[in-house]
Amino acid sequence: MSDNHNPAAAERVELRRDVTIWGSYTWGYADVGADIYVALGLVIGAAQGGAPLAFALAGLVYIMIGLAFTELASSYPVAGGGQYYSLRGLGDFAGFVAGVALLLDYTIDIALFATASTGYFNFFLPYFGIRLQDFAVSFGPIQNFNLLWVSETVIMIVFLLWLNVRGIRESSLVNEIIGLVDLILEMSVVVFGFILAWKPELLVQQWRQEFPTLSQFMYGFSLSIISFVGLESISQAAQETRRPATVIPRTSVALIFTVFILAVGFSTVGLGILPWQEFRAHESDPIAYLASHIPYLGVLAGPFAAFLGATILFISANTGIMGDSRLIFSMSHFRLVSPWFHHVHSRYHTPSNAIIGFGWVGIALTIIAFLTPRVLDTLANLYAFGATFGYILVFTSLIRLRFSDPYTPRPYKVPLNIKWRRKDGSTVEIPVLGFLGLLGVGSIFATVVITHEIGRIAGPAWVLLCVIYYVIFRRRNGLPVLGSVPRDWEQEQMDVLTSAEEFELLEQYKQALIRRDRQRGIASRWSEGG
């Protein structure tokens, strides 16, 4: 039955606001903090002596991405993140495309980090007399399909689905506890590495004598963005965050610089301890290999790094489920996908259908990846494509919303703005940093498409399949395919700020609309007599 004229279809179902300031920080850290375990060896192996520069340049783009998300999430504190911003700024179709790009990112997040987490847990199997390779089977063209590893990964994902259906408070608590431990351990590796083992002359030698060719450096640069994917998880939890206008800017800015320092720190300390060739030889466990070469810590490096990697990757997979479910939940509310995904559990007040539905997509992608020769490499290729493609639309939305919606209060604004007074008397602040960020992430996306074969094929295929679904869904429900459903965005923003209990911002927004209407010479529906 069509939901086109069903009032219930447009009614906003509220999620429980249980995420605190520390919970908001650890949601982001749980996702982005795990990336270095996958990226460090790959980037150093590609960028060689120039790896710190590759991380630093990608980190500068990441800072601009993070600041853009900080402005948007604090101004529009609802589930959906980049998809919602694209929807409001660019329309339904762009909102859907941004959504499916980020859905790919989050779904790969679940599969990639659950697989990597169980891989680190398998470090302990020899202590029990078990060899992982004994569980590998081959049949037809499929070689070395590891039954134990894939079973462990699927079980972990199912457990995380159950945990997220139980509630954001319980799921966030897992992130808060493990995130704190892993943050301390990561910082310890960097700090003790610098104090006990770092040789600046080795770093300088590799920079001068083993700097990569331009093509090698660009490949490493495109891989290094993987180290910073995940900050948008904070925006995904905005609708469940207490006082988001205050909390989100604080946690986002703190997270941005925490992760930037750690990523550049790991690459700098690593090349001051070991030649880059040794990182290439240990792409699967670069953090553990680095820790094993720190005096006094080396004897504990194996189990230490295994525990560190397993736990941070576990909570990153957990964050992927949260991001996936909140994103498809938001898309359902705006009739971009089936209303089935908008169901909220009667007891736990969580988007249970969205959690379970895309959780099974994550499981399916995990099994498919295990059928390929290199499971982690297959998943990592798709990871960069989805993130950078989605970020392009987010920057475009940031710029567009400054023009189309200058009245919404922005508790945080990206720096470097130029004021422009329009003919109607309104003032727009043009975000220079938004244009710079768009240029930066666009260059990374182009490099990813050129240099990553799997991402170049499977990424667009995912988007195409989703667009076909969108066309069928919208036509079946009598909705425009390329056009947008008329929406009362002003009332939507009023409801969002009321739900978030941001009453001061609500009053600022209302007064801005009243002033606008007076300038236009029309009666305002927001004034007491309007």
Higher pLDDT, 382 or 238: 382
Q: Region 32-59: what's the mean pLDDT? A: 88
489 contacts: CB under 8 Å, gap ≥ 6: 88, 405
3-class SS of residue 427:
strand
pTM of the model: 0.82
Ranked by mean pLDDT, which of 6-20, 170-184, 432-446 comes out on top? Answer: 432-446
CATH 1.20.1740.10 fits 29-463, yes or no: yes
With contact defined as beta carbons under 8 Å apart, do 148 and 135 qualify? yes
Asked if residues 313 and 117 have their Cβ atoms less than 8 Å apart, the reply is yes
Q: How far is it, in rounded angstroms, from Cα 417 to Cα 116? A: 41
Position 525 confidence tier, pLDDT thresholds 50, 70, 90: confident
Q: Is the pLDDT of residue 329 over 70?
A: yes
Q: Is 327 exposed, middle or buried (0-12, 13-18, 19+ CB in 10 A)?
A: buried
User: Which range, of 104-108, 345-349, 353-357, averages the lowest pLDDT?
Assistant: 345-349
Q: Find tokens 């559990």 and name the residue.
A: 345
The span from the CA of 475 to the CA of 479, in Å, is 6
16-21: average pLDDT: 56
Q: How far, in Å, CA of 311 to CA of 114, rounded?
A: 10
pLDDT band at 8 (very low <50, low <70, confident <90, very high): very low
CA distance 434 to 68: 7
> Would you call 428 exposed, middle or buried from its count of C-beta atoms within 10 A (0-12, 13-18, 19+)?
middle
Distance, in Å, from the CA atom of 119 to the CA atom of 125, rounded to the nearest integer, reads 10
CA atoms within 13 A on the CB side of 366: 31
In angstroms and rounded to an integer, the radius of gyration of the C-alpha atoms of the chain is 23
> Computed from CA positions of residues 356, 359, 361, 364, in that sequence, does the dihedral angle turn out positive or negative?
negative
293-314: average pLDDT: 79
C-alpha separations of 527 from 32, 405, 498, 524 in Å: 44, 19, 17, 6
Mean pLDDT of 361-381: 83
In the predicted structure, residue 9 carries a pLDDT above the cut 60: no
Report the chain's mean pLDDT, rounded to a whole number: 84
Residue 1 burial by CB count (10 A; 0-12/13-18/19+): exposed, middle or buried?
exposed
Domain ranges across the chain = 29-463
